[in-house]
Chains A and B, each alone.
Chain A
Amino acid sequence: MKKYLNVAKTTFNDSIQYATSIIFRIGGFTITMLILISLWNFIYSGNDNLINGYSLKEMIWYLLLAEIITFGSGSKVATNEVKNCIKSGNIAYQVTKPYSYPIYVIFKFIADTFIRFIIFLLVATTLGLIFAGPLETFNIQTLIISIPVFFLAVLITGMTRILISLSSFWVEDSTPFQNVYSKIILIFGVFFPMEMFPSIIRTIVRFSPIYGVSYGPAKLVISSSFTLFKEVILSQIIIIIVISILISIVYRKGARKLNVNGG
């Protein structure tokens, strides 16, 4: 465990070197959010009623909170870095080190995400307070129960990305799969809460990682429900166990068929 904490510490040290690039990403995030907030304002205009149980304020907060996880966990460690490591053959070095490569990448991902996530959280909160106003239901209990849920949501995102990147052992380029995953999360988890979809899609979302990585955490902050907290955290733990098993199987199989360039 100590060595993995060292991996995280070194990654954190490394990520500070290019922290300025995150500032530029904030611009992109803010513009996207402003466009989506305007869209929801337009949809709700002249309509004081709720849409599928959500007021305009709740909808904007849902959007911002779900988007923090997506943007905040957009570290290249779990995507391009793993893919390039396998394709370039640099994984040869990783395999000869006394650690588990998947766990090494997970710790690297968490450390690389830390600063990015905090920055996006601050920006999103500011946008929420300006364009929607404070959530009346939000209190200290919500804050406490949200921390582990958001942490696990980021962890699941990273692990899913790593699992997809490990397909590089077999396919030429795992980027298209990453893109498909991003679009599914955006449409079914970020842009619209699952209550907006027909019951069949709702059921699929409920039992998919989308519930743990976007709907669950965002809805938890809006509703401040302890019952929902228990449901979300349980589903996140189950998802983590399943993805861990899959990563372990895929990595083991991939490593067996590894064909490093030049031998």
Chain B
Amino acid sequence: MKAIEVKKLSKTFKSKTKEKGLKGSIKAIFKPKYQEKKAVNKISFEVEKGEILAFIGPNGAGKSTTIKMLTGILFPTSGEISVLGINPHKERKKLAYKIGTVFGQKEQLWIHLTPYDNFKFFGAIYDIPEKIVERRIEEYKQIFELDEFINTPVRGLSLGQRMICEIVASLIHEPDILFLDEPTIGLDPVIKEKIRVFIKRLNKEKKTTIFLTSHDVGDIEKLCKRVIIVNNGHIVLDDSMENLKYHYLNKKIVEAKMNTKINLDDVDGISILKDKDYNLKLEVDLTKKSISDAIKLLDPDKIIDINISNTPLETIISNIYKETKE
């Protein structure tokens, strides 16, 4: 059964523009000019119940706009949306009982109150009997090890602790779909991992459908079986994680600072992206060579500093673009 169905969904924003300088500012007061931007342009997709879907793309791609239309926050300019058989804009309140939302850059908690008081409040908002709320708080307390800070006012919590509480607050009514908009933004690797493990467990045990937007390739790799990539309001790719990994996430970038100048040539599976003075940037194709092969090639004794990273999402998208055009 479908959890989400989207057909030819579009959203156009109208924003004010201003010419440069003081003259432009004055002119804008008396004769404002507007420009239209298509944030989402006729996209269509479906999400099955119980699926974990990654909805990714660079800044300004239309990810957040889409998530906000699916949750009933923004009104679409055109197109159709059905979330659990409900039209988010006509039955916003009905949908609210069935979905949970976490926006990584927004806050819903009462900062002067403790996480415990916050969870009790959200439980009451969703008309959940007190006993059940208590049971769920206890359950989440164990999973996230909330003991340490459940009675500390939210204003005194770290960013990671706050984000965990934001997630728990969004789950207190056990929604059928959880929308996560950049949930791990700005968090340290330990908290990120904790959140990922929990999301996976939630999906497995409670069959919660997860709709995730993230910039973090790690989130996507570890959580999702299917990926939709958007750019400039269009869907660029809708494929399984397996395929995406095989074709695009099988490369690592190795940046090294050397103590002496070394001359390298491309070898099968390792290509030189940059070679300037003592700095080298290599791309390693993990299907052919390993990271240790690349380090051996550089000569470990000559390395002063090294950084290994994933291929940036932007590069992956531009590669996909190139391929779809060819």
Query: Which stretch of B45-53, B71-79, B269-277 is in the interface?
Result: B71-79
A252 to chain B, nearest CB (A): 11
Residue B39 is within 8 A (CB to CB) of chain A in the complex: yes
Beyond A13-B113, A98-B126, 9 extra complex contacts between A and B, CB < 8 Å: A17-B153, A18-B112, A92-B71, A95-B73, A98-B93, A256-B75, A263-B65, A263-B67, A263-B74
Q: How far is the CA of A88 from the CA of B106 in the complex (A)?
A: 8
Please name the residue on chain A nearest to B63 by beta carbon.
A263
Category for how many chain A residues contact B: 20 to 34
Q: How far is the CB of B49 from chain A (nearest CB, A)?
A: 20
Q: Name the residue in A2, A7, A96 with the highest tally of chain B Cβ atoms < 10 Å from its Cβ.
A: A96
Answer yes or no: A258 CB below 8 A from chain B CBs.
yes
Q: List 21 A-B contacts (CB under 8 A).
A: A3-B127, A10-B110, A88-B106, A90-B106, A92-B101, A92-B103, A93-B101, A93-B107, A95-B92, A96-B71, A96-B73, A96-B99, A97-B125, A98-B97, A98-B126, A99-B93, A258-B73, A260-B74, A263-B63, A263-B64, A263-B65
> Cβ of A38: which chain B residues have Cβ within 8 Å of it?
none
**Chain B interface, number of residues (Cβ within 8 angstroms):** 36
User: Which residues of chain A have a CB within 8 Å of any CB of chain B?
Assistant: 2-3, 6-7, 10, 13-14, 17-18, 88-90, 92-93, 95-99, 255-256, 258-260, 262-263
Q: Is there contact, CB below 8 Å, between A262 and B64?
A: yes
Chain B residues in 8 Å Cβ range of A99? 93, 125
Interface string of B153-173 (1 = CB under 8 A from A): 100000000000000000000
Q: Give every chain B residue within 8 A of A2 (Cβ-Cβ).
A: 124, 127
B124: chain A residues within 8 A (beta carbon): 2-3, 6
Question: Are B127's CB and A93's CB within 8 A?
Answer: no
A18 to B64 CA separation, bound complex (whole angstroms): 35
**Chain A residue with Cβ nearest B89:** A256
Residue of B nearest to A104 (CB): B125
What 0/1 readout, one digit per residue, does chain B (52-74) give for beta carbons within 8 Å of chain A? 00000000001111111001111
**Which residues from chain B contact A7 at a C-beta distance below 8 Å?**
121, 125
A93 to B125 Cα, complex, angstroms: 13
- B84-134 with Cβ < 8 A to chain A: 92-93, 96-97, 99, 101, 103, 105-108, 110, 112-113, 117, 121, 124-127
**Is B101 in contact with A263, judged by CB distance below 8 angstroms?**
no
- Of the candidates A3, A17, A256, A260, which one forms a contact with B125 in the assembled complex, judged by CB atoms under 8 Å apart? A3
Partner of A13, one of B105, B117, B125, B127: B117
- Interchain CA distance A219-B67 in the complex, whole Å: 53
Nearest 3 pairs of A and B residues by beta carbon: A263-B64, A263-B65, A98-B96
Interface centre among A2, A92, A260 (most CB of B within 10 A): A92
Q: Determine the residue in chain A with the shortest Cβ distance to B112.
A: A17
A92 near B73 with CB under 8 A, answer yes
**Nearest A residue to B173, CB-CB:** A98
Report the bound CA distance from A93 to B96 in whole Å. 10
Cβ of B278 within 8 Å of any chain A Cβ, yes or no, is no
Central interface residue in B13, B96, B103, by most chain A CB within 10 Å? B103
Residues from chain A with a CB closer than 8 A to the CB of B121 are: 6-7, 10
CA distance A93 to B45 in the complex (A): 24
B101 CB contacts on chain A under 8 angstroms: 92-93, 96
Q: How far is the CA of A256 from the CA of B89 in the complex (A)?
A: 9
In the complex, what distance in Å separates the CA atom of A78 from the CA atom of B110? 16
- For the complex, give the distance between the alpha carbons of A259 and B126 in Å: 26
The answer to whether A89 and B106 touch (CB under 8 A), given A2-B127, A18-B112, A95-B72, is yes
Residues of A within 8 A of B107 (CB): 90, 93
